[in-house]
Structure 1
Amino acid sequence: MATYLYRLGKFAYRRKGVVLSFWLALLVLSGVAAATLSGPTKDTFSIPGTQAQEAQDLLAERFPGSSDRDPFNSLSARFLFIAPDGTTLDDDENFAAVDAALADMRGLEQVSDFAKGEPGPDNPGALINPVIGNDGLLQQLLDQGVPAEQAESDAAALSPLSEDRTAGYVDVPFDGDFSIVTDELRAEIEASADAARDAGVEVYVSGTAVQNMDPPGGAAELVGLAVAAVVLVITFGSLIAAGMPLFSAIVGVGIGVSMITAATGFLDLSSTVSTLAIMIGLAVAIDYSLFILSRYRAELSTAPSREEAAGRAVGTAGSAVVFAGLTVIIALLALRVVNIPFLTDMGRAAALTVTLAVLIAITMLPAVLGISKSWAFRGRLPFLREVDPEHPDRLTNGRRWANVVTRIPVVTMVGAIVLLGVLAIPAAKLELALPTPATEPPGSSAREAYDRTADAFGDGRSAQLLVVTDAQDVADDQRMAVYGDVVAKLYEFDNVSNVQIVGINESGDTAQILVTPASGPISEETKDLVNAIRDAEPGVNSELGVNYGVAGQTAIEIDVSDRLLEALVPYLAVVVGLAFILLMLVFRSILVPLTATLGFLLSVAATFGATVAIFQLNWLGIATNPQPLVSFLPIFLIGVVFGLAMDYQVFLVSRMREAYVHGESATDAIVSGFSHGARVVTAAAVIMMSVFAAFIAEDMAFIKVMGFALAAAILFDAFIVRMVLIPSVMALLGDKAWWLPKWLDRILPNIDVEGEKLAKQLEQPREPEKVTVAQH
């Protein structure tokens, strides 16, 4: 491998114009493709094979046009009207104000046709004043022969008007998909409520039609790049050298995001698919170029030419880059195991940008070095002294720390384990949930609407469950009686406020039964109710001959958590298994990959602990909205962090392996490898932490928490696990760290990551040509 990459690096340096033109042309072409081939993003949410999804599919099949029952994929807005203090919505002035607002809503172009027009017998779907909707509801139930007491309970569960008549809501359906949700549409929706607000009526707007569908980013990336630029300048002491990794990252991420955007014309991708691609792509692209550029600088002092130095840098550091990139790609692509489409798409998109980062680092970067020639390390800042972190004779801080670790390995190892263990303690209180209006930040329109709805209608109004009942196997003349029996059985469960049939399809073989719990959508009591109803289904089927499924927000949330929990073990098996094999190829050892994996488990546990402490338990008072963490976070974090953790393992330990193979003792190899790589790994970790931490400023809760968690994971893994724990363990193991059974040594291909074959090839005599690092 090192030999092939060495040749590739020299070729790219020598044919710099062709290589650089290729990447720039690809950037332009991908940009043109993004501008001409892109289509609307599809922010739909589905979990194939889950009970909630099957119930939702059955609902769509038996009740055409029932997409408004889908809590995630329907497009609608809810207007909640609150009467001024001391009045009700019945009052003439308030009633007229709500009517005026409804008239403006009907005028919105995107509102569904069936909801437009004045209410009346010929237009039953029109937007109706909640006062009128409430008054007609009870009478309608009584006319259907529902007993008075039950009719009052049913009407209360469905009424758009609160019992004290001070609050009411109207759900406004919209045509089209999430691509129509723009700043202009959100402004029009908000403006349609002004007629009511001008009269003193409070109006809160919530729903999918007013959510911000714009992908996060922009400012976050700029902040991350700015910090990365500062770190690179300090690392190299040169403005030109600092700009090279940034240029590589911008080109790679630009190509990747453009390709993803162009793919929306052919694939159903959500608007947030590119978020992880940008986040991961920026971080790894800068780091990979940084490692190769740092090695190039070191090789300049001994190589006979700059072309030769570029080849050696790509052959040695480039080998580590390739395998580090492969571990990240494996972790991202393995998200397919979870079988949640949008997670799979995000993993694939991020894997694309990582692949581009690797290819650009080993081809475009040496081409840029070929163009810059002796200017590569110019543009020095006078207040920064020149530092070569890989100079073999310099007593760097990295060498000093490595000497400490190898001298007292037991102390440093125990200290690292204890520290990570203490940080992991809060993880025992981890709670997971899907984002809902109940988890939105206080003060937001969605959260205000949720809180005021709960105050006026009870917690259960936002947690209603839809039991889709299939009676195809029941005789036609018995179906209504069977539906009634199902309602009666649902009433037997604890935590149920109301149960009623809200729809029967034209053929009469399927019913929608609405269950209103007494608790809210994210409460454990509601989750227990869903599980109890589902567990009772086989018994109901045996007794009544019907099948049913539970749909709704809480049901989907339970299924997501179960799916992720079930997928966690096979996901870890795939990721850790493939990465373990890959690391055995890199290090030709069993214990080094094993300790690397165990160290990762410690760092990820500490990351979960810190994230739970800050965002869920609100330690330090930093979180403005402490809530359960997003259900997707654990598996997402584990996959991404594992890949990134192995980056630092490869970069640091491959230098130790290189020194060991070239004849140094096990302890000296640790010190030598650590002193060569510590400074550049530190710079890379700080850059990666900065890129991730910048996303904490985003409004989207999932991105905010993910940014913090990734930054914390890099902090724990790079600085505690890779720089303290791993060298301590390797110092204790000594030569045993590099032990590999002979039979396994024969089976495993020798990919020569440490460049032993390359070193022998380079030992052939040649006429030296002194090359200076920079000319002042």
Structure 2
Amino acid sequence: MNAARWSALHPWRAILGWIAFVAFAVGLAVAIPTHEATDADYRIGESGRADAMVAQAHLEQPDTENVLITATSGRLDVPQAEEAAAAVVAGAKTADGVADVAEPQWNEGRTALLVPVELASGADDEADADAVQAVTDGVQEDFPDLQVRQAGDVSVDAAINDRVAEDLGSAETISLPVTLILMALAFGALIAAGIPVLLAGTSVAATIGLLAPLSHLVPSEPTVSSMIVLIGMAVGVDYSLFYLKREREERAKGHSTLDAVEIAARTSGHSILVSGGAVIASMAGLFVVGNATFNSLAVGSILVVAVAVLGSITVLPALLVKLGRWVDRPRVPLLWRLNRRIGRGGISSRLLAPVVRHPVVALALSGVVVLGLAIPALGMKTHSGTLDTLPTSIPQVQTIKDISKSFPADEGASARVVVRSDGASTQEVEAALEELTTRAVATGDFVSSGRGVETSKDGTTSLVVLGMPFDETDPRVDDALRELRGDLVPATLDGLGEHAVGGGAAESLDFAEQQDGRLVLVIGFVLLLTMTIMAVTFRSGPLAIISTVLNLASIGAAFGVMTLVFQHGWGSGFLDFTSPGFVIDWLPLFVLVVLVGLSMDYHVFVLSRIREHMDTGLPTRLAVERGIADTAGVVTSAAAVMVSVFAIFATLSMLEMKMMGVGLSAAILLDATLVRLVMLPAILVLLGDKVWWPWKPRRPQAVVVQEPEPAYAVTR
């Protein structure tokens, strides 16, 4: 740990260097604009080919805002509705940013009237949608007996982005004081409580700055900043906790501040490097998916962990040397006494004692609980986010749902068949697409959209849109798409040129199939890398295998909890959501890599302390008991921070964030308690010295065991 030693010996240089690094990184974000991922970056499979063909032929549908007119209650007054629709048409035609206004359309039962308003292609689509919204609001005022509402891709996206920003702002506002309170409980002193938050915050700021130039190599996904805050605060606080607790412990033994910092660097600092490597290896598993979203999340998470590790071995020891004993000032009397009482390890010793005395029983009981939680994961269903996963408290979302019910061919599940002709005439292609429409409708799985065949200006590319009379999440949608792709399209269009089936439903199917095919690869990649890190670090094959098995247990339990809560609706009333009947497709992979990465933090920390005691000659049983008692307070504090921060996300309105919050908070809670503090020590005690094979612990002739000095004590 030369870097930590140098920083401890040259504290001002290390501190100023860190400040300069963070300032430079933040300056990069100001000087270099972030390159956001475009629609083309998200294309996958056959739907991606279809989308690319449509884009190249300039057949993209223009952004459209739909104005829906329905009755406030009872039957719709048809003449009044038509009068309101005429007012919408007249107002929209004069609004800024409007390219065209279609004639009002009645639904089949004449219970709803729809006015599609096509927006002009411009630099500010939101402003154009707002101009139409002003017309809609004006018509609503003139016809109070009707419901006149507007929704479209632009307005819905803007409303969702506003809600996401509101949710994240709320989460960040709450998470900071919660973290500070938990750190105050962990240390009983305000300066010590503030250092982990300071390190984590500066690491996050530096990472967001560095991400700006990197986004030109790997396009940045809009949610990556939130993920950086989430991961950065978790690992930044963890690493500071590991270091600070060990430094305080060494000072309590009588070492000088400089010596205590150096000892902490050799022990906790080494654990931080190994933990950081494990987290980075886990996050690298996201690259295996080969998706723009996961690539962006992987880059952001790897970068923030690397920056946090750098801060932990440079500026953190420098700060501790300069602060000296002032790090334990000012003390909060009640919290300080509570911290001293917890610091003795009394609570953890009482909990651990039965595990060490009866490891078989402890392992069996904890295994049954974990297995019971994991079993529901076998029936987990995944699907991309739909209208049902969006908060109904967003007015535009409810309007889109009502449009979907009244006009299923316009807003429901649909498929887009695209053909790029290869020598065939335009008339031949159009006739084939019309025949395809007839055959598809005859199956009962499709309905005509009424748009007919659309052909590009150069006549080389044509498409037709087929609606489906099913909800987006209905399994029949995927079955219909497979039949369309496998039978109907080849039978009708083969020989005419390149063809592909795309659209929103097809994109969801392609993503699910890609993820299903690679989920096993990601799990294998992550577990293999972390197992290798454990084997190299501790030079123990059994320990690496045990770590992998425990990670699998944690993953299974986390997936089971997510399935029970969001697929089966357990606790939906308490969490204030309606179960969509599935888990959003990208979340299991994300929870997997984050859980394995973060859990390896305290796993490595605990095992390193046990190994230290083994190196002094303690037998395995006593080394396990002493090592876990020494680290239980740190593990509990670290897990409490992560669980609290993730749990805040479970209170937000966006279902994706709620799923992520519940999944991660439940996973970390189970992993830090049942798995690492019950199953791990039980297994280590049962295996004894065999767990360290091929390394052989030293066994002195006689071992005098003394009670450890309180780790909390600080020389006055």
Deviation at 1:231, TM superposition (A): 1.7
CA distance in 2, matches of 1:81, 1:545: 42
The amino acid that maps onto 1:626 is S
Q: Quick check: 2:125–2:154 contact (8 Å CA) kept in 1?
A: yes
1:431 counterpart = 2:384: no
Q: Deviations over 1:718-752 (max 9, x none)?
A: 1111111111111111111111389xxxxxxxxxx
Structure 1 residues 308 and 67, CA gap change in structure 2 (3 angstroms): farther
Deviation at 1:698, TM superposition (A): 2.9
The amino acid that maps onto 2:527 is V
Deviation at 1:518, TM superposition (A): 1.9
Q: Which residue of 2 aligns with 1:36?
A: 31
Pick from 623, 628, 637: which aligns with 1:674?
628
Pick from 343, 355, 371: which aligns with 1:421?
371
Q: Deviations over 1:238-261 (max 9, x none)?
A: 111111111111111121123335
1:280-299 paired onto structure 2 within 5 Å: 280-299=231-250
Q: Gaps (5+ residues) in structure 1?
A: 69-74, 117-125, 135-159, 743-753, 757-770
Pick from 80, 87, 93: which aligns with 2:68?
80
Structure 1 residues 174 and 506, CA gap change in structure 2 (3 angstroms): closer
Deviation at 1:492, TM superposition (A): 4.3
Q: Quick check: 2:102–2:115 contact (8 Å CA) kept in 1?
A: no
Q: Deviations over 1:388-425 (max 9, x none)?
A: 6998xx55222333332111001110111111122223
Q: Which residue of 1 aligns with 2:688?
A: 734
Q: Which residue of 2 aligns with 1:140?
A: none
SS in structure 1 at match of 2:149:
strand
1:195 counterpart = 2:138: yes
The amino acid that maps onto 2:385 is P
Give the paired residue count: 691
SS in structure 2 at match of 1:466:
strand
Pick from 150, 153, 168: which aligns with 1:205?
150
Structure 1 residues 169 and 592, CA gap change in structure 2 (3 angstroms): farther
CA distance in 2, matches of 1:185, 1:503: 26
Pick from 665, 683, 687: which aligns with 2:619?
665
CA distance in 2, matches of 1:699, 1:542: 45
TM-score, normalised by the number of residues in structure 1 = 0.83
Q: Deviations over 1:68-96 (max 9, x none)?
A: 4xxxxxx54332222555775852x5444
1:346-385 paired onto structure 2 within 5 Å: 346-384=297-335, 385=337
SS in structure 1 at match of 2:334:
coil
CA distance in 1, matches of 2:284, 2:122: 32
Deviation at 1:667, TM superposition (A): 0.7
The amino acid that maps onto 1:646 is M
Q: Quick check: 2:540–2:691 contact (8 Å CA) kept in 1?
A: yes
The amino acid that maps onto 2:578 is N
CA distance in 2, matches of 1:518, 1:52: 20
SS in structure 2 at match of 1:9:
helix
CA distance in 2, matches of 1:703, 1:638: 15
Q: Quick check: 2:456–2:462 contact (8 Å CA) kept in 1?
A: yes
1:97 counterpart = 2:84: yes
SS in structure 2 at match of 1:168:
strand
1:128 counterpart = 2:102: yes
SS in structure 1 at match of 2:412:
helix
Q: Quick check: 1:13–1:307 contact (8 Å CA) kept in 2?
A: yes
Pick from 429, 432, 447: which aligns with 1:482?
432
CA distance in 2, matches of 1:686, 1:43: 38
Structure 1 residues 107 and 326, CA gap change in structure 2 (3 angstroms): farther
Q: Deviations over 1:469-490 (max 9, x none)?
A: 3332536664444334333432
CA distance in 1, matches of 2:300, 2:77: 50
Percent identity between matched residues is 26
Q: Quick check: 1:652–1:673 contact (8 Å CA) kept in 2?
A: yes
CA distance in 2, matches of 1:343, 1:207: 27
Structure 1 residues 398 and 564, CA gap change in structure 2 (3 angstroms): same
Deviation at 1:316, TM superposition (A): 0.6
Q: Which residue of 1 aligns with 2:547?
A: 596
The amino acid that maps onto 2:26 is G
SS in structure 1 at match of 2:208:
helix
Q: Which residue of 1 aligns with 2:448?
A: 498
SS in structure 1 at match of 2:433:
helix
Q: Which residue of 2 aligns with 1:765?
A: none
Deviation at 1:37, TM superposition (A): 2.5
Deviation at 1:285, TM superposition (A): 0.4
Q: Which residue of 1 aligns with 2:704?
A: none
SS in structure 2 at match of 1:270:
coil
Q: Which residue of 1 aligns with 2:663?
A: 709
Structure 1 residues 388 and 596, CA gap change in structure 2 (3 angstroms): farther
CA RMSD across the alignment: 2.9
Structure 1 residues 172 and 720, CA gap change in structure 2 (3 angstroms): farther
Q: Quick check: 1:231–1:686 contact (8 Å CA) kept in 2?
A: yes
Q: Quick check: 1:79–1:206 contact (8 Å CA) kept in 2?
A: yes
Structure 1 residues 86 and 646, CA gap change in structure 2 (3 angstroms): closer
Q: Deviations over 1:529-550 (max 9, x none)?
A: 0011111168427865554321
Structure 1 residues 79 and 166, CA gap change in structure 2 (3 angstroms): closer
Pick from 369, 386, 405: which aligns with 2:355?
405
1:625 counterpart = 2:578: yes
The amino acid that maps onto 2:378 is A
SS in structure 2 at match of 1:658:
helix
Q: Which residue of 1 aligns with 2:16?
A: 21
Deviation at 1:775, TM superposition (A): 6.2
Q: Quick check: 2:66–2:151 contact (8 Å CA) kept in 1?
A: yes
Q: Which residue of 2 aligns with 1:751?
A: none
Q: Gaps (5+ residues) in structure 2?
A: 699-710
Q: Which residue of 1 aligns with 2:702?
A: none
CA distance in 2, matches of 1:702, 1:171: 30
SS in structure 1 at match of 2:499:
strand
1:180-329 paired onto structure 2 within 5 Å: 180=124, 190-198=133-141, 199-200=143-144, 201-210=146-155, 211=157, 212-213=160-161, 215=165, 217-261=168-212, 268-302=219-253, 304-329=255-280
Structure 1 residues 108 and 677, CA gap change in structure 2 (3 angstroms): farther
Deviation at 1:266, TM superposition (A): 7.7
Structure 1 residues 266 and 578, CA gap change in structure 2 (3 angstroms): closer
